[in-house]
Chains A and B, each alone.
Chain A
Amino acid sequence: MAREETYEEHLRSSFTNLAEKWGEDAAWIEERVGFALQKRYEEEEKERKNSSAADIVYKHVKAVAVGRHVHYDEIPRRNPLESVDDATWAEVYSRLQAERRERAAATVESIWKYDQKELLKHLGQESTVEHWAQVAPTHYLSDYARVLRRIQNDHEHLADALEKEMNADA
């Protein structure tokens, strides 16, 4: 497996490309690389002083889960890291699960809001529904009916699932 490029190497190659393009010399590259490394060091120091180990691990693990490179189910319950203890990992894990539940709740909320803003605004008016049914172009009737059935099924599916969970909790 090829060795991963370090941050400094990445900076050096990027600024070398720019220097070639803009006609700058080696001193310019060194100055820019030095400035960027110093900036990063300062940011890391700031984070180091203001965060716990759990904060830093949580930030990196959450980034891969939210970016969907790793599913939440694939994040192990047992500590996979050597640099942090099990208690820290347990905290990270429970924060991730809480965040996961919050994201799911936010999905339900955004669907609820979208329905009010978009679908109910139009379909909530009886006159609009009848008007649309009358003026829809004939060659679109089957496609529109199919799309609407799909939306109907998706909503029923979600409502059923929520109801099941609500009754299970009770």
Chain B
Amino acid sequence: MLEREEYDRINEETLGWAKRMNDSVRHQRGGTTLGEIFDGPAPELTEEQQREQAERWRRFVDYWARQHMEHVLGKKRADGFEEGTWVRGWSPSGMLDPTHVGLENHNPERVPERVASLAASEISKKKLKNRIARFREVARLCGRLADLLEDRQREESSIRRIV
């Protein structure tokens, strides 16, 4: 087993040597080292380049937002629209809707009224108030996004097609 001092000495020397070798080989090949790139000044971008960069970033963010929406809200398949993870399986809607095709299908224990009547005596009043508040908050937020989507749909359907 190496002593700590010896280990540090070997590590430091070998890493230094490797870095110098790497840099020298790159320079011989006419390349730039990563260290030089990071140490150097930020590249001067023209206004046009800055606009392009911002546009690329915006497209990247939009793309991932759409991907995420497909995952959680749903996407089209060959046999129709498939609902996403927010309504399937173990999600709240998947758990509470006994007519939904999923793990909890046709289980009378999972109907909201039944769940509530059984659970109410097990959960303290303070906790229950907290749970109810969160469920209402989620409902409000879902409703808000649904409103915005419906507004956009109305707006877009009213735009006259230019032939």
Q: Is B truly associated with A?
A: yes
CB nearest neighbor in A for B81: A143
Residue A152 lies at the interface, judged by CB distance under 8 Å to chain B: yes
Taking the complex as formed, is A53 at the interface, i.e. its CB lies under 8 A from any CB of chain B? Answer: no
Q: Which residues of chain A are within 8 angstroms of B86 by Cβ–Cβ distance?
A: 118-119, 147, 151
The yes or no answer to B136 lying at the interface (CB within 8 A) is yes
Residues of A within 8 A of B122 (CB): 101-102, 104-105
Residues of B contacting A13 with CB < 8 Å?
Answer: none
Cross-interface CB contact of A107 among B113, B115, B136, B142, cutoff 8 Å: B115
**Is A149 among interface residues, defined by CB-CB distance under 8 A?**
yes
> With contacts A103-B109, A144-B69, A165-B117 known, is A151 near B142, CB below 8 A?
yes
Determine whether the beta carbon of B116 is less than 8 Å from that of A164. yes
A157–B121 CA distance with the chains assembled, in angstroms:
18
In the assembled complex, how far is the CB of residue B133 from the closest CB belonging to chain A, in whole angstroms? 8
Complex contacts, A112 vs chain B, CB 8 Å: 131, 134-135
Which of A3-11, A38-46, A80-88, A130-138 contacts its partner? A130-138
Interface of B is mostly: helix
For residue B102, CB closer than 8 A to chain A, the reply is: no
Q: Is the CB of A115 within 8 A of B121?
A: no
Inter-chain CA distance A102–B118, complex, in Å, is: 8
Chain A positions 90-146 with a Cβ under 8 Å from a chain B Cβ: 100-105, 107-112, 114-116, 118-120, 122-124, 129-145
A24 contacts across to B, CB distance below 8 A:
none
Check if A169 sits within 8 Å of B120, measured CB to CB: yes
User: Inside 8 A of A143's CB, which chain B residues have their CB?
Assistant: 73-74, 76, 81
Q: Which A residues, 38 to 60, have Cβ-Cβ distances below 8 Å to chain B?
A: none
The answer to whether B125 touches A133, judged by C-beta atoms less than 8 angstroms apart, is: no
Residues A152 and B116 in contact in the complex (CB < 8 Å), given A147-B83, A162-B128 = no
Question: For the complex, is B112 an interface residue (Cβ under 8 Å from A)?
Answer: yes
Tell me which residues across on chain A come within 8 A of B132, comparing CB atoms: 159, 162-163, 166
- Could you tell me which A residues sit within 8 Å of B by CB distance? 68, 71-73, 100-105, 107-112, 114-116, 118-120, 122-124, 129-145, 147-159, 161-166, 168-170
5 other contacts beyond A104-B109, A116-B134, with CB at 8 A cut-off? A71-B107, A105-B122, A115-B92, A143-B73, A166-B128
* B positions within 8 Å CB-CB of A: 61-62, 65-66, 68-70, 72-76, 81, 83-87, 90-93, 95-97, 107-110, 112-123, 125, 128-129, 131-132, 134-146, 148-153, 156
